[in-house]
Structure 1
């Protein structure tokens, strides 16, 4: 009872505290101990008074008493202090009002503000204080300087990051980068020819074009590709070509010799590669022949395994038939005869199973005795058949998992994972539609599933998500009324906050073949080809979309 009372007191006081003690930890002009909390020894906030007359912060008292199984004595530690009882602790409105009126220094006193004012007015003063620290308005350009508000305009006029328009190209450049801009990048800044050809100075954009055609621009020797490193003007290049003819001929001879050696080396490598290719072709031909032989052995093994499985199935069916007959016969003699027959059949089945196990244990090097005495030497490939059997077992395991997760209350919760990848597969035609796991209206009810076209179907192709309901052939269809008449509701669930679910429902058309008793594995799907318009903002803002739930 005491704990509930304290929670109520704390809750009501906490709501009013936003209008009581101001925020922050200011520097007080004078601080009287009567405003000191007996628990935290700081300024009392949302003052409450103990039965012994001491003051404390409401939050401090809450933390002191909350969840403490023992009695707590007033922290003041005086002889007159008593144990604290929540029902005897009251709000001290007078102290709260006095604390709000305590004089404090401005928060920016260290910056030069000499203002002294009541604590309750401090927050409003801080907003208007001219000594408040502010960032330069060019901080987005890289300025890290923080100045007081009254000096910010002076700083911004001198800030090296302030933007200025180039007087040549009118582009806005940081003040500290103006000179660099003029010297390196400004397209309209007037410069001289780099090669000092005597052309009149011109804007950089024109001079760059001139440099490509300047008669004094340095040219590489036309024999540079074979080793000549000479560069010079057109006139110098002509003189070089005439004077260095012998040198160029010598470089050409050396390069031709090198090319000849490289050609010889390439021929040797090519011959070696031809030999290796011939060897690989021979090996490939040999491997292809081995593969053909192995395929023949696999086919033979498949046939043998199929015969064994057929025999096992036949014996099992005979055993089941005999057991049913035994249950219905009352004559002891017939019963005993059938029991003996059943035992013989069981022994035959056990023998077959033992032989199959023997073949499996024999592995690829096993013998050829027993019922497989006629199998060819390729019995060594039996391990591959065991792998196929493992795959079939995996398929059966998957079917059991589907059966275990099946719903029998008429509701299917279908979550499609990797939505974006599956949507792309549907768009490219790789996987046009998806089927859900089956679900049922009851343990012996209708069998159904859902079919979805993530890129739409029919009139909704490319623009909508199409969702359909499918009636499947079930084991108890003969016991159910047809056609299917139950109401079908389709819902696309919003996985963020559940406020934007998409819902559509319909009643089956009893004349449609989609809702008659199935004669094949499943009926033609029926539903909503325009169920969900692809550009609706249901999931538009979800950048990490991977699943969609129904």
Structure 2
């Protein structure tokens, strides 16, 4: 192990012991790591074992170094590489010996045992004293910063095709690239930046959610366990299959379930049965009916007698007062007259205290009457509101019925209009919602399609269902074939995500019955070089006359197309972006060569001067025989 590795290991142990955080750091491959949970756990080498090596790696903070050399399109000069991490300089600093280092590497070296030697000086066989680095004497290397701005670089994030200058990469693209790999701050899962927000809001097992029943907050991974114990989660009664909250299930099974078991209260019966069979149990026989009715009458009489006894008994406070009066009366004969007077006053006080509960009962009764009056008024108000709502609902139902009738009438009218349009234009097709751009040139089998805002078309092809776009329809001549161009900005079939695909689709035209079928021609696709008009991307194909795509199209079914799966690769589009995609506009030209087809001969047969036997041609004029 060389001195550089020993120093790096020492830096790792020093940062692990001090508990330095790794949140927001960037790995040498450009992957940003944000894991607060890891930084809180200190690394203890004495407790580790070979089987725990994977967990140890997760706990060591990821140190920031220079930019990876893979971002450069060409080999980077040695002077732009850090003398410590050997990567492209990040915030270049120059030492007194003339070598350059990253500012972040300088911070690491300050934490290592001093003095620190410059490895570049050691490789140059300089004296030991000259190899010692003065870390405090390093200064910002503005010359290197200016020179590095012009280095051509590319993004190495998976799926990103960005290219540009080093200055634009470090100031803009490195931070905003949607393909940048980031770690979820909640669960630590690594994914691209454009997926991180959706992951944290919908899929992360560590995100906070709220129980829809008890409104308790918890981690998403604890939801299933919580549902097993939540008191408000609906559960089904195993007897009647009714859903009730878990904390009310026992009460439901004992009091409300229609299938619960009941015991007949008649002393001579005590038969146990489901509740729904109790009514039939009472009507089993006339003797059984008589027996249960007699028991019911006796029970009602008993309850009435108990109620009468309760009403006749004075309240507990009154009984206590009467007992106090009796005790004072018994002691009056043994006491003096003054004591007797006091006893009589006590008796009067007892009578007053006996009257207190009666007044309290009256006040309670009055309060209940007031409450009943208020409740009665509220019930009447609710009834009036319900009546108003019912009347409004009736009016809305009538309005909806009228509008539904109008919609049906409009649909019938639209159907009639469509039928009339089909009678006028039998070959009419609906306008495609995928059409984009305009035809800037269309004549004699040559059409030039202008596609504006191509970057938006490409984004929709990658991220939305609109994977293709169509050109406006055009014809190869006054009596030619009708067709359109279809482009897949992100590729089609085996070229998906690799190249741009173009196809030609035949459409129903007004002269299809006069044209030869299957369609036969040589088709040439040309992606125009807008910069110097020299490096056009072109591809050719001969129409596959044996396939469905070259047969006469039908107005009732979609016609497949034919063309090139890979006209130009996406890598070429990325490296030559300003050549073919100038100002976010593409020009695609299609040339349909009908020389090898039977169309010229078919068009000649339409001339009556060549077919009719009643005419002759001489001296450039036509005469009747």
Q: What TM-score results when the alignment is normalised by the length of structure 1?
A: 0.31
Q: Between Structure 1 and Structure 2, which shows a larger proportion of strand residues? A: 2
Q: What TM-score results when the alignment is normalised by the length of structure 2?
A: 0.28
